[in-house]
Amino acid sequence: MRIAAVELSVVRLPLVRPFETSFGQMAAREFVLVAVHDDGAVGWGECVADADPFYSAESTTTAWHVLTKYLVPAVIGRTFAHARDLSAAWRRVRGHPMAKAALEMAAWDLEARQASRPLCELLGAGARPIASGVSLGIEPTVDALLARVETELAAGYRRIKIKIKPGWDAKPVEAIRARFGAIPLMVDANAAYTPADAATLASLDRFDLMMIEQPLHYDDLVQHAALQRSIRTAVCLDESITGPAAAADALELGSCRIINIKPGRMGGFGPSLAVHELAVARNVPLWHGGMLESGIGRAHNLHLSTLERFVLPGDVAASRRYFVPDLIDHPIEVAPDGTVAVPPGPGIGVIPVPSRLSEATLQREEFR
């Protein structure tokens, strides 16, 4: 595989409805889209960094800078035996896993397309239906949240996740349990709590949640271990799992019992596969999170979700929940049984519609 050309685009897509978490509300998704070319074939990747550095230190602006100045120049014109080998070309560049992931994952798509194989096979699995959960943002009222839950359950989603923050935790969870009973339910704090909130988090034990995702600081493992010892509900780590080393440390310390893998956040498929191998060896359940990706990133997530330790419903919801229209030619849909099919065909199985991509593009640069 030769990296003959790379196209970068900053794309902006309005969300169907605003999405609120503990660190703010988002009305549109702005991200960097990567296209890697070789002899007529094109692989696509999506950078999950937001326009603002709230979820992560990275942003659309930093990703663009690192891609254009360091990552793309390190690989352009070079030939690689495998997509996983690209990371060695930018070993000097510390951090910036989201920028790295976008280029690395585009190369995986390119390699799979050139081999006329679906990406999941290159990753080590076969296509299978993926159980889909849905992530609901913070709503203005509990009644509005209950209405959203009812709509998503009717659409077939197998698991409900709600965002929480101090002051918006026990009350909405209690209302959901009272209205909908023992549905699969989890909460995601996005690092909104501190160890001083341990009693509040422990009070959620009575609701029989699947997990509490990332309750404490985004780079903490020690305090999460103390919290996990003090509550019955499983802690799931997301932001804290920066790669295989962090995952191994978290499991050794007892910081969590479940891990959320997001290749776009973790640096690509290489680190994600290493964490998956660790989870297999330690018999740790995994699930695949989402970051409001367009259909390009969503398709990548579906292919990775086919691996064996992804045993819990992921956040790979239908395209139309977020974008109408999406960038891709065939939108990702949720079947009545609550599963999502892996897009058929070589690579990730989808491509952007040129007119939609052109309309949504704010900035573009090409390297040859």
Annotated active-site residue 163? The verdict is: yes
Residues 6+ apart with CB under 8 A from 337: 129, 156
In the chain the first and final C-alpha atoms are separated, in Å, by: 15
CA distance 100 to 104: 6
Catalytic: which of 100, 165, 171, 262?
262
Instruction: Tell me the two tokens of residue 257.
Output: 């019992």
CA distance 201 to 43: 43
Nearest to 45 by CA among 75, 15, 21, 25: 75
**Residue 25 half-sphere exposure toward CB, CA atoms < 13 A:** 6
Catalytic: which of 100, 161, 163, 165?
163
CA distance 21 to 162: 9
Instruction: Tell me the two tokens of residue 54.
Output: 């709230």
Name the amino acid, one letter, at 304: L
Strand spans (E) along the chain: 5-21, 24-38, 41-46, 130-131, 133-136, 159-163, 185-188, 212-213, 235-237, 258-261, 286-288, 339-340, 361-367
Positions annotated as catalytic residues are 163, 262
